[in-house]
Structure 1
Amino acid sequence: MAAEQRRDLRLPKNFRVEIKEFKFPLARQPKFEVTCADISAGGMKVECRKKFEAGTKLQVKIFIPSFNKYHPGFFKVFESDSGQFLQAIAEVVRADDVVPLTSYAMGVKFLDVDQDDWTALRNFIMRSSK
């Protein structure tokens, strides 16, 4: 998809992300530590050592420093900065080889995100892009 066709502003950020395939039993699915290359309110691009095919559903946990200060509601004063994250269900929309059989770039679309977390993500992206 061309950049001009995107609905959401993309922000280049290297956040730590944990992903696992969203299938049951969820606790038995291996977790992968991946790197976020860019993020928007609608999804993100990650780099991973395992290739997930388009259409695969994932559980994603994105660690965003100071994330709670972008929440619309009550600010949690005593929280550790490093423990703040957004959790969502996402779907792989494309997977490209970066280094064949070693590293893959995947575009994922957010399917289910808590409304306050989604609002916080939008606020974070808007303020960070200025």
Structure 2
Amino acid sequence: MTQARTDYDKRDYPRLPKEVSVTLAKLEYPFSTEAEESGTLKNIAKGGIGLVVAHAYETGSRLSLKINLKGWRRYMKNVASIVDDSAGTVATTPLTAIAEVVWMNPLPDGNAYEIGVKFLDIYEDEYNALKKYLENLADYLAK
């Protein structure tokens, strides 16, 4: 008899621990920059992220994300990576994505929520850079 896979085992991509700031906004009409909130990334994978936020989001909600991953742009194959890297300010531009909330759990203190989101839309060159960044991070964490 085989054991049922846990939710963690069902992931298509392994989550890697990483703690950085994320700016997010629910995509709804009318659009407003005042609706942006800051969250804290807890883990990241090729398919999405886990983060802690102050407000609850319903499963299925679409979010605009700006993820402040230091060093991710050096894996891009264009002029932007050269410009950022030469100035010593790699990742001054956040990784941007559209994502969908797939789960949400209130934290025990009742003041925040942990949410999991899957990426729906990322520019192709940025996604390729993210994949290389994560491969490098996985190698580093394995040491």
Q: Structure 1: 5+ residue runs without aligned partners? A: none
Asked if 1:106 corresponds to 2:115, the answer is yes
| Aligned residues of 1:23 and 1:29 also touching (Cα < 8 A) | no
| Aligned residues of 2:75 and 2:81 also touching (Cα < 8 A) | no
Distance between the aligned counterparts of 2:92 and 2:31, measured in 1?
22
Question: How many Å apart are 1:77 and its aligned residue?
Answer: 2.9
Query: CA distance change for structure 1 residues 75 and 59 in 2, over 3 Å: closer, same or farther?
Result: closer
Whichever of the two has the greater Rg, that structure is 2
Distance between the aligned counterparts of 2:110 and 2:14, measured in 1?
31
From 3, 16, 20, give the equivalent of 2:8.
3
SS of residue in 2 equivalent to 1:116: helix
Counterpart amino acid of residue 69 in structure 1: R
TM-score by length of 2: 0.83
**Taking every aligned residue pair, what percent have the same amino acid on both sides?**
26
Match of 1:86 in 2: 95
| Aligned residues of 2:64 and 2:98 also touching (Cα < 8 A) | yes
Alignment length (residue pairs): 130
Distance between the aligned counterparts of 1:28 and 1:37, measured in 2?
24
Give CA-to-partner distance per residue, 1:28-64, whole Å, 9 cap, x none.
5511110000001110001011010101110001011
Distance between the aligned counterparts of 1:112 and 1:34, measured in 2?
20
**Structure of greater relative contact order (alpha carbons < 8 Å, 6+ residues apart):** 1
SS of residue in 1 equivalent to 2:35: coil
TM-score by length of 1: 0.91
| Aligned residues of 1:67 and 1:84 also touching (Cα < 8 A) | no
Match of 2:18 in 1: 13
Aligned-residue RMSD, C-alpha: 1.7
Distance between the aligned counterparts of 1:121 and 1:82, measured in 2?
12
Match of 2:129 in 1: 120
Q: Structure 2: 5+ residue runs without aligned partners? A: 1-5
Counterpart amino acid of residue 106 in structure 2: D
Q: By percentage of residues, which structure has more strand? A: 1
Give CA-to-partner distance per residue, 1:72-123, whole Å, 9 cap, x none.
3345333233513111111100110113541100000111111111111111
Per mean C-alpha deviation after superposition, the further-off stretch among 32-41 and 66-75 is 66-75
